[in-house]
Amino acid sequence: MPGPEAFGAFARDHIENPRNTGPLPVVAGAVIGSGEAGSRASGSLVRLRVAVHGHVIVAARYELLGEPALVACASYLSECLAGRRAEPAAIPSGLEIARALELPREAHGAGLLAEDAARRALENVPGAGGGD
> Residues interacting with another protein, by CB under 8 A?
1-4, 15-16, 18, 21-22, 36, 40-47, 62-68, 71
Nearer to another protein, 78 or 131 (CB): 78
What's the CA angle centered on 43, arms 36 and 61, to 5 degrees? 35
Q: How far is the CB of 63 from another protein (least distance, A)?
A: 4
Nearer to another protein, 97 or 129 (CB): 97
Nearer to another protein, 67 or 85 (CB): 67
Q: How far is the CB of 100 from another protein (least distance, A)?
A: 19
Q: How far is the CB of 68 from another protein (least distance, A)?
A: 4
Nearer to another protein, 46 or 81 (CB): 46
Q: How far is the CB of 32 from another protein (least distance, A)?
A: 15
Query: What does each C-alpha distance from 63 to 31, 100, 129 come to in angstroms?
Result: 19, 21, 21
